[in-house]
Structure 1
Amino acid sequence: MTFHLRPAAPEDLEFARDLTCQNMLRYYIHHGLLWQDEAFDVAWSGRQNWLIVQGDVSIGFLSLSRDMRALYIRELQVAEAFQGRSAGSWAIDQVIDMARKERRPALRLTVFDNNPARNLYERKGLQVQGRDECFLRMQLDISTHVL
């Protein structure tokens, strides 16, 4: 079954917040950071958000922002039951395509240094550009061929 993106609606906020907390809380705890629902909600309201849908089931979401230098993946979350089934890889391909169409010079994201999603990002051509405490800053130059 294939995936598609659907623009997120205000009623999708709770799904996205709960999914992010479920997926990320262990990293927050490991690094001594405090999860705050309110902070997630504020960030969500200032971004372009898409649900990752398979059939008629929302299995994850993307949260994006932009500036003149890059398209930024602020969140890419896939429900645990659907991880390892290519949804994340497919979603990254969609964002790379968006960046190309928008003629953004780069795709950027930040990932916890101990998050295995880093391996997926590296397979997709993103490279570590720097480190901020427990986070890695990664980038794909859009002129780079994507696998």
Structure 2
Amino acid sequence: MSHVKIIPSTDKNYARNITQENMVIYYQKRKIEWDDQLFEQSWKDFDNFEVWCDQTRVGVVRFCIDDQDCRLRDLQIETNSQGRGIGTACLDFARQYALDNHCEKVWLRVFPENPAVKLYERAGFRTYSSGDDLCEMVMDYL
């Protein structure tokens, strides 16, 4: 497996761009318009990290803490870097981040047809609720 390093991020333009690129097919399908004001506010409210692999920036991971739960708000990996174990390393980081912040669970939301659902299940997430437009998943056992 490649060497993955996750560090705090200050580059919101990179985070915005990779999120828009990765999510465009899901947004188009649901006729969701990108909301730049919402992104700007989330950048201020969330803990934002860059994902590096073998000295190349390949993604972002973003969190917020809600009561005693950790919310994985974004996990975006460059398309050409997917399938290399980077997402798994990010989920290991998410588990540790939650523990470090005294959280009892890690939550995330994902579009149900997103292939990342399988990654989340392998990492220990289970489906909490699911509909046509959104699947909420939780990792209970940190």
Length-normalised TM-score, structure 1: 0.90
**C-alpha RMSD of matched pairs (Å):** 1.4
Counterpart for residue 117 of structure 1: 116
After superposing on structure 2, the runs of 4+ consecutive aligned residues of structure 1 that deviate more than 6 Å are none
Task: Give the paired residue count.
Answer: 141
Which 10-residue stretch deviates more, 97-106 or 64-73?
Answer: 97-106
| Displacement after TM superposition at 1:73 (Å) | 0.4
Q: Which amino acid aligns with 1:77?
A: Q
Q: Which amino acid aligns with 2:75?
A: L
Alignment of 1:44-59 (within 5 A): 44-59=43-58
Which 10-residue stretch deviates more, 75-84 or 33-42?
Answer: 33-42
Counterpart for residue 60 of structure 1: 59
For 1:95, what is the secondary structure of its paired residue? helix
Gaps of 5+ in 1: none
Alignment of 1:1-147 (within 5 A): 1-9=2-10, 12-131=11-130, 134-143=133-142
In the alignment, is the contact (CA less than 8 A) between 2:68 and 2:102 conserved in 1? no
For 1:4, what is the secondary structure of its paired residue? strand
Q: Deviations over 1:57-110 (max 9, x none)?
A: 210011100022311100000001101111111100111112123331101000
Q: Give the distance between the partners of 2:102 and 2:14, measured in 1 at CA.
A: 31
| Identical positions, percent | 27
Length-normalised TM-score, structure 2: 0.92
Q: Which amino acid aligns with 2:3?
A: T
Gaps of 5+ in 2: none
In the alignment, is the contact (CA less than 8 A) between 1:71 and 1:107 conserved in 2? yes
